[in-house]
Structure 1
Amino acid sequence: MNSNKTIAFVGLGSMGLPMAQNLVKAGHSVRGFDMRTEAMDTLAAAGGVRAESVQVACRGADILVLMVVNADQARTVLIDAGALAALPEGAHVCLMATCPPDAVKRLSEEVAADGKVLVDAPVSGGVVGAKAGTLTIMVGAPKPSYDAVASVLRTMGDKLYHCGPEQGQGAVVKAINQLLCGVHLAAAGEALALGQKAGVDTATLLEIVSGSAASSWMLKDRGSRMLMEEPPVTSAVDIFVKDLGIALAAGRSVNMGLPLAAAAHQVFLSESGSGNGLADDSQVIAAYRRLNGIS
């Protein structure tokens, strides 16, 4: 039996485009749509189909992959742009953006009311993981729906987890992942800024703590960029403003206080509010430098 699918893919950004290209390489028929025509042209050059609209991409598709910025954009694509109406009965909508769990639940209800199924499937791994097909994908959906899309998701990520039978449970796991990443990153910035204020050699400090029990993945990945004057941007400060906000919303939804996440969120907000929201997220260290008069 032919396992290849017809896939509508909306959101061909820095992660979405390589994800869609990996689907094409696996033999799926991929119809891509993005507001940037150059992104669609790149997908077409790789063997995908350049859709002239969201509705054209979705007609007859087995699966719609949404790799958009947030839940509001997802709803705009589904409702306002007509994706939901264009999809055939029983089609699956894979929402792969990082969204608040409550928003995912509301979207899933709207999708279900139209005879389709939303699969909550946020990802972690960044552009590097998207290109390599090594993303971590956290799925919240009934088991039959998970099984229906699992082979397609495995083309984009080699670490696929069924986090629970309800839409929104994948979003909760992603929010917790981002909570830890944000807190670890803010703590790394605080530690290295303290070293700088105290006058120790920060490169030596970084080498020592990176190889000790004090280390974290975020410290080892971002620490060297914290010490650069103008590091390349791999993920922006504003991403953690958004994602830690989602983590805090997840906490509120279950009436749970998250004081460390809140403190980290304030540090990222401070850096964004200083005009550096588009800077590399390692530059959260600059918020500590300003706070403590470190030049």
Structure 2
Amino acid sequence: MTQPQHVGVIGLGAMGAGIARTLRNRGFHVHVCDVKPGAAEAFAKEGGSAWANPAEVAAAAPVVVSVVVNAAQTEGVLFGDNGAAAAMKPGSTFIMCSTVDPNWSIALEGKLAAQGVHYIDGPISGGAAKAASGQMTMMTSAKPEAYAAANHVLDAMAGKVYRLGDAAGAGSKVKIINQLLAGVHIAVAAEAMALGLREGVDAAALYEVITNSAGNSWMFENRMAHVIAGDYTPLSAVDIFVKDLGLVLDTARASKFPLPLAATAHQMFMQASTAGFAREDDSAVIKIFPGIELPKAKGAA
């Protein structure tokens, strides 16, 4: 009987937990850790190994997948107390799945290469459900030797793996362009729904019509369903788009490239965040619009 291959997953949030389960279901022995007490142990009860910190995960697995929020958390995973970098053996591979500044990702590739560790710039998209079913999208770029070491993990994690270049940076550039579209689509979907509510249109009827008409988008269909349900449980929080659209604008600003729609959407998410909705689902950006009555969750007073 073939022994399972070992892989590490650091970060068991909505996306990371789905990735870890997918890898386990596809025959890998998955080593996990998370800052949230009990998260790793809960995962390991159904198979896999729970560890206390990234260094222990890196010591146990030749490929480590990092699924944390941003560059600062990734730095902590690698170089903080009990960080993974010091425990990674030459020839091992670090897959970075966060949305980050492309230039930061390029620099990280060089830093890890200096200690003989392969690096894959591999942001992800698709949401928690697709991560859990192995159908998410990965936008990757890496040196050929990094792909050679970890292609089996990439193909097991995701339904679509785009290989966009032979060095870090291209994956992160494509991801922030995706986030530009995602953030603008959510913001304009909220604006459209808010106008409908202001004008007295039935929210459910508006949703039904738009999702069967030319004005629909994946984000309208997905996020406005949260508004209709009155459920702002964060699958992707408002502050994620404060960060991601900020990265988009920083990248464009460096080359003096205008992004008027992205800038407006960023301001909308900033307004929602400062109004107290930072940790709610990103569809809560609709709450910035005045004079509308939002649908309530079932059972809510």
Equivalence for 2:59: 59
Matches within 5 A, 1:146-295: 146-287=147-288, 289-290=289-290, 293-295=291-293
Partner of 1:23: 23
Quote the offset at 1:174 in angstroms: 1.0
Aligned-partner Cα distance in 2 for 1:205–1:8 = 45
Query: Which secondary structure does the structure 1 equivalent of 2:30 belong to?
Result: strand
Q: For residues 51-98 of structure 1, give each alpha carbon's deviation from its aligned partner in whole angstroms, at most 9, with x where no partner exists.
A: 233222212531111111111111112112331121111211000111
CA offsets, 1:8-30, max 9 Å, x none?
22112222123112222322232
Deviations 1:237-283 (A, max 9, x none): 11111111122122234432211111001001101110011122112
- What residue in structure 2 maps to residue 140 of structure 1? 141
Q: Secondary structure at the match of 2:95?
A: strand
Give yes or no for contact 1:17–1:39 (8 Å, CA) kept in 2: no
- The residue that corresponds to 1:11 in the other structure is 11
* Number of residue equivalences: 292
**Does the 8 Å contact 2:31/2:60 carry over to 1?**
no
* 1:226 Cα deviation from its structure 2 partner: 2.5
Flag structure 1 segments of 5+ consecutive residues without an equivalent.
none
Deviation at 1:231, TM superposition (A): 4.1
Q: Which amino acid aligns with 1:64?
A: V
Change (3 A) 1:259 1:60: same
Separation (CA, whole Å) in 2 of partners of 1:265 and 1:250:
14
Runs of 4+ in 1 over 6 A off after TM superposition: none
Distance 1:178 1:49 in 2: 33
- Which residue number corresponds to residue 104 of structure 1? 105
Secondary structure of 1:164 counterpart: coil
The CA RMSD measured in Å over matched residues stands at: 2.0
How has the CA–CA distance of structure 1 residues 185 and 52 changed in structure 2, closer, same or farther, with 3 Å as cutoff?
closer
Percentage of identical aligned residues: 39
Matched residue SS, 2:192: helix
